[in-house]
Amino acid sequence: MQFAAWDARMSTPDKSGSTPRDSWRALAKRGRLDAYTHLDGPAFPDSLGYLWEWSRDLRRGTGTDMNGKAPLSWIVLDAWARHSGNAPAPHEIDALFSLDAVMRHPDSLDEKEA
Q: What is the pLDDT of residue 20?
A: 92
Question: What share of the chain in percent tops pLDDT 90?
Answer: 46
Among candidate residues 62, 67, 52, the one with its CA nearest the CA of residue 98: 52
Q: What is the pLDDT of residue 88?
A: 96
Residue 113 lies in a domain: no
Residue 100 lies in a domain: yes
For the stretch 58-82, pLDDT in tens is: 988 776 666 677 889 999 999 999 9
Residue 95 lies in a domain: yes
Total structural domains within the chain: 1
Round to whole Å and give the CA distance between 101 and 27.
30
Q: Are 6 and 41 in contact (CB under 8 A)?
A: yes
Round to whole Å and give the CA distance between 29 and 47.
32
User: What is the residue range of 30's domain?
Assistant: 2-108
